[in-house]
Amino acid sequence: MSPAGPRLTPGATGAGIAARQAAHGWTEMPLAYAVTSPGRARARLGAELTSNTVPRDLVDDALLVVSELVANAVRHGRPLWAPPPGRILLRWELGPGPRGPILVEVVDGGGVPPVPADADLGAVRGRGLVIVGGLARVWGYDVALRETRVWALLGR
Ligand SMILES: Nc1ncnc2c1ncn2[C@@H]1O[C@H](COP(=O)(O)OP(=O)(O)O)[C@@H](O)[C@H]1O
Ligand SMILES: [Mg+2]
């Protein structure tokens, strides 16, 4: 379970999360493995970004990216085996400036890599990761035996 993506601060699961959040300002939101979760994620992240005076265009981009990543975890991934079991995890971290950077990541228990599809012009599916790639400065994933973590860096 070695995270390979860019981190504003080191990540962790299990014990120590609250302490790290307090020390480094990243937030973790456990979500149900359910279709309601993209909406719940948007609501909470939107409120936090807005209250941190992040500009509207960047808030919109971050919410769209998180929505796609959470929807993918629910549709294509699996619930986590590791704590919190049966759920998926959304994490985000805000950089110091008004335009971030903002790091968002979603962890599920599938252990399967996300593969951007070659979406046909008329296809309804297969656009989520294309959107993520278009909005993020950089995005990526890492996969362990029972974990898929997809991350995106937005903003400054
Ligand atoms: N968390 C995930 N776990 C496993 N596979 C994923 C995950 N996220 C994305 N994928 C794979 O990447 C593909 C492309 O995702 P996306 O561009 O969002 O299209 P869509 O969700 O409409 O299929 C998905 O069809 C799926 O095969
Ligand atoms: Mg998708």
Q: What are phi and psi of 7, to 5 degrees?
A: -125, 140
**15-44 tens-digit pLDDT:** 444 444 445 578 999 999 999 999 999 999
Q: How confident is the model at residue 47 (pLDDT cuts 50, 70, 90)?
A: very high
| pLDDT at position 118 over 80 | no
Binding-site residues, ligand 1, Cβ < 6 A: 68, 72-73, 75-77, 108, 110, 112, 114-117, 125-130, 148, 150
**pTM of the full predicted structure?**
0.86
12 CB contacts (<8 Å, ≥6 apart)? Answer: 20
CATH architecture for residues 34-154: 2-Layer Sandwich (3.30)
**CA of residue 101 to ligand 1 center, whole Å:** 25
Q: Can you tell me the distance from the alpha carbon of 85 to that of 100, in angstroms, rounded to the nearest whole number?
A: 31
Q: What does the pLDDT read at residue 19? A: 46
Q: Which ligand is the nearest neighbour of the Cα of 151?
A: 1
Radius of gyration of the chain (CA): 15
Structure confidence by residue, pLDDT tens digits, 48-106: 999 989 999 999 999 999 999 999 999 999 999 998 999 999 999 998 888 889 999 99
Position 148 scores a pLDDT of 97
